[in-house]
Structures are given as structure tokens and as C-alpha cells.
Amino acid sequence: MDKVSVANNIASQLLKIKAVTLNPKKPFIWASGIKAPIYTDNRLTIAYPDFRQTIAHDLAELIKEKYPEAEVIGGVATAGIPHATGVSNILNLPLNYVRPQKKDHGKKSQIEGRCQKGDKVVLIDDLISTGGSILKAVKAVEEEGGDVIGTVAIFSYDLPESTKNFSDAHTKLFTLTDYPTMIQVAQKLDYVEESDMELLQQWYQDPESWGK
């Protein structure tokens, strides 16, 4: 698996379908309140079958390389589910998905699909910002007796907060591409101007203070 080629290709395709938008001069306000020069909606990927299959293939290869002992693939609801489904089909492994919280009716399940005591599980999400969603899913699986051996995602902003959160949770994360790759590819393909690069780099270095 050529990590650099994969990272560049995934970044290029995310930009092409407008799943990632960069605009440092007119920044976005995230739900968390962070002001950012980037907005990502990786849910758009499911509308493009060829790209969706590429993502599934690359995630499957990543899992085979990093977590060869994986026994179950899990998707973080909702955006991680289609990608986890594709990966589980390729690897011919059982699948589950994890809701943000338990249902308030029926069996009040939080996890649907295979989740048995001792299962070695890899969880998949589409995007990592702070890591809150996927780490919450990790906790849910482990409370059911599963052993989450690691996590993967399509794209990460690679924020200091997420690095700390995964470290504190003693959880591994690998992604197909990341923010530094994204902005380099965006410049190369003329999605941003060279003059924008300084602002994009400044946000990456200090996202909390950027734009204030």
C-alpha cells in the first residue's frame, strides 16, 4: 500500500466532489464553535460508487496492514456505516454499527450486528475532528465485552485535541489522508491560491486562536 499515493488520491477526490471545501478568507463556523478555513462533508462520498469502492478498498488494505488480527468491522453511526459495510464485504468479516446512544425502546440496543465478548473489533468513521464520536463508540463496544484493537477513518484534521484524546483513550487511529496532505493537494490542483497557504497553515498550527 503506497500511503502517499493513497493520501494524495483520496484528498484529490474529496476536493473534486466538494466533500472538502477550503476558504480561508471566508471561514466556516463549526458546531463546536471553532472558526476554520475548511469544511468537510464526507457523507457526499456515498453518492459516487467508484470513489466509494476506492475508499472501501483502501480502508480494507489499511486494516489488513495495521490490524491483521481484526475479527469484526464496526461502523460509527451514521456516516461510518456505509464505509464499514464496504470494508466488511471486502474482508469477509462480520459487521456491526454503533449508535451515539442506546435506543429508548425495544431491547434498547446501542450496537447492532456482531459484538461478542472478546471480539477483536476495528471501528470506522468518515471524519475525525476531535475524535469524540468514534471514541464514544469505542467505549460502547468495550462495555459490551468487545476488544477495540484500533480505529480508521477517511480523513482527519489532525488537530492537537484529537491527538490527545486518542492518546488518553489508549486507542490507535490511522486515516487515509489528513489536513496537511489536503492543503498541499489543494494548492497543487489550484483549489486554493498560493497566498492562502499561510492562513491554512496558521489554522493547523493553532486552530483555537485562529481568526480571533
Binding residues for 5-phospho-alpha-D-ribose 1-diphosphate: 99, 103, 105, 125-133
Q: How far is CA 97 from CA 19, 39, 64, 135, in A?
A: 23, 25, 20, 14
Q: What is the rounded CA–CA span in Å between residue 18 and residue 165?
A: 28
Number of Cβ atoms within 10 Å of the Cβ of 177: 26
Largest CA distance in the chain: 56
* Residues contributing to the annotated binding site for orotate: 129
Count CB atoms within 10 A of the CB of residue 49.
Answer: 9
Binding residues: 99, 103, 105, 125-133
Query: Would you say how long the chain is, in residues?
Result: 212
